Structure 1
Amino acid sequence: MDRSAVPWGERWDGLAAVVADLSALVLAGPGARRVAEQVAELLVAGTSRHRAHRAALAELVDRVLDLHAVACGSDPPSPVGLADWLLHVQTGFAEPPEVRLAPYAAALGEEGLARYRAEAVARFSKLPVIAFGRTGRYDRERWALLRVMEELAEHVGDVDLQVLVLTRDLSSGWHYVQVATVLRDAGRTEEALEWVGRGLRATGGRGAAGRLVDLAVDECLRLGWRERAVRWRRRAFLAWPAVETYDRLRALASGVGGWPQVRADVLDEVRRTGDPAVVGELLARLAARGC
């Protein structure tokens, strides 16, 4: 029979009945795991053919995956085999589901989770980094692996995995801010500041550059590194001489102490190294303000 001629309502009732039967089979005890995998794969494959009903089908898939996780408890699979199947169902279809690892934690165990992590990282690491200013091509594989890695990083609470995910897309300064923020929040200050520096070099003072400098200054002040905080503001002013960067440097250096010397040094350096037209306009504006 040509199923395409069957009204969607009837097909939906049939699919719901299959999932209900699967639920009863899982509750009955061992023997339902392989059936759950087959049903999950059939539903996932059908999602791409019925885009108009994608949300409804996705809910069914989520229900089947919940049942599959329960079935793994009464019918334990090979941890490696389970890891491979979970990756397959998330990356091998046009409309893959989003799998939560928590319900599978016991069935995966250390061996299965290690396999899952190694395979996911190996595949994700092969994706090209989207460089600053470039428009990345997020094809099906990239989206699927990105979801896999985000869930894995959250599940294991691994900062290195979070950084790996974020650093595959460095197309804007805000991505550098994200990386630096994650590292700062993890207490890895030096690495965070290194990424601030990378972001400033990439942005050339545009876009998120100000937020990057703010992040570095705030972190240095939090740790009591006042002179280092002033150096970040000084670096920003010399790289992008403007009233705004000057005012920020003055406010910080005045509070820390030693502003007169800092002022003399940076103005002397900007006169020697800066664009004459830009420097001339800046100095004129500062003189008009008496600062």
Structure 2
Amino acid sequence: MRRPSLPVLLTALFAVLLTACTAAPDSGADDARTPSGDRWRPRPGTDWQWQLSGRLDTSVDVPVYDIDGFDHSKETVAKLHRDGRKVICYLSTGAWEDFRPDADDFPKSVIGRGNGWEGERWLDIRRTDVLEPLMAERLDMCRDKGFDAVEPDNMDGYRNRTGFPLTADDQLRYNRLLARLAHERGMSVGLKNDLDQIPELVDDFDFAVNEQCAQYGECAELTPFVEADKAVFHVEYELSTDRFCADSRRLELSSLLKKYELDAWRRAC
């Protein structure tokens, strides 16, 4: 085989170097668009505070705060960051709330039955053509305020009387949509309740948030998150800590006793 001449070798080498230099910016741009490697991933047993009402108490010595995304400012999130905390943005994504500033943006056709809380009604999660841009705007708000993660609430409408014939597939599709929207904005996202669909959704979510799994004997169903090295942030309202904390420690849940109004009061396991 004839060897290439020196000029040919130099020309080829220059072409390789030029390709590498011009390709590097594109690679960086891809990383910026999909910052999955930079997302916060809380591990099992991470302590936390969940406060959705009352004057925010920022003095609780825990690494994670979960607070209302609408009610708190960028400055509040920044203060919690300066104190070394990660901050989760609470949003209701499966129910309409008449007290939110964007309530009038939701057409009546997607608003269903009440969900048991004053001023709240289930949403028709099949209508992603309507809900996706509205939820994207809410997630933009969380991102712009500096939140690290999102807790989308009311993510199990298909198991409730919503006024719409929702199916399990509808719920999986919608929950994955919310996870994708959060990830596209560089935030992690938690699966709220929806225990039956954990096996299908554990890979799509970065942590779980659960209410009352101990009261209803369901905490073991959250094990797939712990096995995936993902935190389970858990709250009980009606059981004393001596009735659930031992199991919580065994299952590696991050468990609290809270009041239903979710004010600053807490008792951790």
What TM-score, normalized by structure 1, do the two folds share? 0.28
More strand as a share of residues: 2
More helix as a share of residues: 1
What TM-score, normalized by structure 2, do the two folds share? 0.30
Larger radius of gyration: 1
